[in-house]
Protein backbone atom coordinates (compact mmCIF):
# COMPACT_ATOMS: atom_id res chain seq x y z
CA UNK A 1 0.00 0.00 0.00
CA UNK A 2 2.31 2.77 1.21
CA UNK A 3 5.95 2.86 2.20
CA UNK A 4 6.99 5.41 4.83
CA UNK A 5 10.54 6.68 5.30
CA UNK A 6 11.42 6.89 9.00
CA UNK A 7 15.10 7.71 8.40
CA UNK A 8 16.42 9.10 5.11
CA UNK A 9 18.85 7.25 2.87
CA UNK A 10 22.48 7.44 4.05
CA UNK A 11 25.76 6.16 2.59
CA UNK A 12 28.79 4.90 4.50
CA UNK A 13 31.67 5.46 4.34
CA UNK A 14 31.06 9.03 3.25
CA UNK A 15 33.35 10.65 2.19
CA UNK A 16 35.11 7.76 0.47
CA UNK A 17 37.76 6.86 -2.04
CA UNK A 18 36.97 4.49 -4.92
CA UNK A 19 36.67 1.62 -5.55
CA UNK A 20 34.80 0.94 -2.32
CA UNK A 21 31.86 -1.12 -1.12
CA UNK A 22 29.29 1.43 0.04
CA UNK A 23 26.60 0.61 2.56
CA UNK A 24 23.29 2.34 1.84
CA UNK A 25 21.02 2.36 4.90
CA UNK A 26 17.52 3.64 5.52
CA UNK A 27 14.67 2.99 7.95
CA UNK A 28 11.29 2.17 6.40
CA UNK A 29 7.90 0.82 7.35
CA UNK A 30 4.74 -0.13 5.48
CA UNK A 31 1.06 0.46 6.03
CA UNK A 32 0.72 -3.33 5.67
CA UNK A 33 1.90 -6.11 7.99
CA UNK A 34 4.28 -7.29 5.23
CA UNK A 35 4.93 -5.73 1.84
CA UNK A 36 7.36 -6.56 -0.95
CA UNK A 37 9.26 -3.53 -2.24
CA UNK A 38 11.71 -2.89 -5.05
CA UNK A 39 14.57 -0.49 -4.47
CA UNK A 40 16.43 0.98 -7.45
CA UNK A 41 19.70 2.91 -7.12
CA UNK A 42 20.79 5.03 -10.10
CA UNK A 43 23.76 7.14 -11.15
CA UNK A 44 23.87 9.81 -13.89
CA UNK A 45 25.03 8.48 -17.26
CA UNK A 46 27.66 11.12 -18.11
CA UNK A 47 30.17 10.84 -15.24
CA UNK A 48 32.80 8.19 -14.53
CA UNK A 49 31.33 6.82 -11.28
CA UNK A 50 29.73 3.38 -11.65
CA UNK A 51 28.26 0.54 -9.63
CA UNK A 52 30.15 -2.76 -9.99
CA UNK A 53 28.68 -6.25 -9.52
CA UNK A 54 30.51 -9.31 -8.15
CA UNK A 55 31.61 -10.28 -11.68
CA UNK A 56 33.23 -6.87 -12.34
CA UNK A 57 30.44 -5.63 -14.64
CA UNK A 58 29.89 -1.86 -14.55
CA UNK A 59 26.33 -0.53 -14.40
CA UNK A 60 24.55 2.74 -13.69
CA UNK A 61 21.48 1.09 -12.07
CA UNK A 62 21.15 -1.56 -9.36
CA UNK A 63 17.81 -3.09 -8.34
CA UNK A 64 17.22 -4.85 -5.01
CA UNK A 65 14.10 -6.47 -3.57
CA UNK A 66 13.12 -6.51 0.09
CA UNK A 67 10.14 -6.99 2.40
CA UNK A 68 9.06 -4.32 4.86
CA UNK A 69 6.60 -4.66 7.74
CA UNK A 70 4.51 -2.24 9.77
CA UNK A 71 7.27 -1.65 12.34
CA UNK A 72 10.27 0.54 11.42
CA UNK A 73 12.94 -1.61 9.79
CA UNK A 74 16.49 -0.71 8.83
CA UNK A 75 17.26 -1.76 5.26
CA UNK A 76 20.89 -2.20 4.19
CA UNK A 77 22.21 -2.54 0.64
CA UNK A 78 25.94 -2.97 0.07
CA UNK A 79 26.99 -1.93 -3.41
CA UNK A 80 30.50 -1.47 -4.80
CA UNK A 81 31.12 1.91 -6.42
CA UNK A 82 34.10 2.41 -8.72
CA UNK A 83 35.37 4.52 -11.60
CA UNK A 84 34.99 3.73 -15.29
CA UNK A 85 34.31 5.47 -18.59
CA UNK A 86 32.88 8.97 -18.46
CA UNK A 87 33.57 12.52 -17.34
CA UNK A 88 36.12 12.52 -14.50
CA UNK A 89 36.97 14.99 -11.76
CA UNK A 90 33.83 14.76 -9.63
CA UNK A 91 34.03 15.69 -5.96
CA UNK A 92 30.49 14.49 -5.21
CA UNK A 93 28.06 12.10 -6.86
CA UNK A 94 24.29 11.84 -6.46
CA UNK A 95 22.88 8.37 -5.89
CA UNK A 96 19.17 8.49 -6.73
CA UNK A 97 16.82 5.95 -5.23
CA UNK A 98 13.32 4.83 -6.20
CA UNK A 99 11.28 2.73 -3.77
CA UNK A 100 8.37 0.93 -5.43
CA UNK A 101 5.65 -0.58 -3.24
CA UNK A 102 3.38 -3.55 -4.03
CA UNK A 103 0.86 -1.29 -5.82
CA UNK A 104 3.50 0.41 -7.99
CA UNK A 105 3.68 3.68 -6.06
CA UNK A 106 7.17 5.20 -6.24
CA UNK A 107 8.88 7.13 -3.45
CA UNK A 108 12.10 8.92 -4.46
CA UNK A 109 15.24 9.23 -2.36
CA UNK A 110 18.70 10.74 -2.81
CA UNK A 111 22.06 10.65 -1.08
CA UNK A 112 25.21 12.59 -1.98
CA UNK A 113 28.48 10.65 -1.79
CA UNK A 114 31.63 12.74 -1.43
CA UNK A 115 34.57 11.37 -3.46
CA UNK A 116 38.09 11.69 -2.07
CA UNK A 117 40.97 11.97 -4.52
Give the per-residue pLDDT at 90.
86
Statement: residue 89 has pLDDT above 70 = yes
Read off the pLDDT of residues 20-76 as tens digits, 9 standing for 90 and up.
999 999 999 999 999 999 999 999 999 999 999 999 999 999 999 999 999 999 999
Residue 115 clears pLDDT 90, i.e. is over it? yes
Give the number of other CB atoms < 10 A from CB of residue 99: 21
Output the average pLDDT for the chain: 96
Class of domain 3-114: mainly beta
80 pLDDT band, cuts 50/70/90, is: very high
| Nearest residue to 9 (alpha-carbon basis) of 52, 36, 39 | 39
* Domain range list for the chain: 3-114
Q: Is residue 1 very low, low, confident or very high in pLDDT (cuts 50, 70, 90)? A: low
When pLDDT is cut at 50, 70 and 90, the band that residue 117 belongs to is confident
Judge contact between 93 and 47, C-beta under 8 A.
yes
pLDDT of residue 40: 98
Amino acid sequence: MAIFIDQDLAASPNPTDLPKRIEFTQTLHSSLASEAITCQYSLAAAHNIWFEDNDGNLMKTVVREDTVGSSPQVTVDRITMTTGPGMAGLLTVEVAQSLRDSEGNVTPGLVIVQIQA
